[in-house]
Amino acid sequence: MIAYRAEQERATSENELPAPRWLFSQDGGVTPWRPDYVTITFTRLRKSLGLDSVRLHDLRHFVATSMLSDGVPLATVSSRLGHARASTTLDRYSHWMPQQDQDAADRLVGLFS
């Protein structure tokens, strides 16, 4: 994973398109797993950890809310999720952003203090 990240950063810094890679792969990202194999593998891991109520799709929501909580711009999160419009992402995840609202209010207070 470290080598993959370094390659992506190098390509980005040199204004190249990064090499296509698959996250769920056994051959360094060249050939993707079948979708059912991803689900089967996730189910086995989930059961081994005692997380029977966690769905694979829940990880998508976790990633989205984590990025938004960390201050990643909405447009970037929307793009990562494959949403056609940022408004779709905002409609789905705006309730996860109360801290950002508080931070914005604090900054406004700072401007007028």
The string of pLDDT tens digits covering residues 1-57 is: 566 667 767 766 666 655 667 878 887 777 888 989 989 999 999 999 999 999 989
Model pLDDT, residue 36: 92
- Tell me which long-range contacts 2-5 makes (C-beta under 8 A, separation of at least 24): 4/29
- Report the predicted TM-score, pTM, of the whole model to 2 decimal places: 0.59
Q: At what angle do helices 56-69 and 98-112 cross, to 10 degrees?
A: 0
The string of pLDDT tens digits covering residues 40-55 is: 999 999 999 999 999 9
The helix (H) or strand (E) run that includes residue 40 is helix 35-48
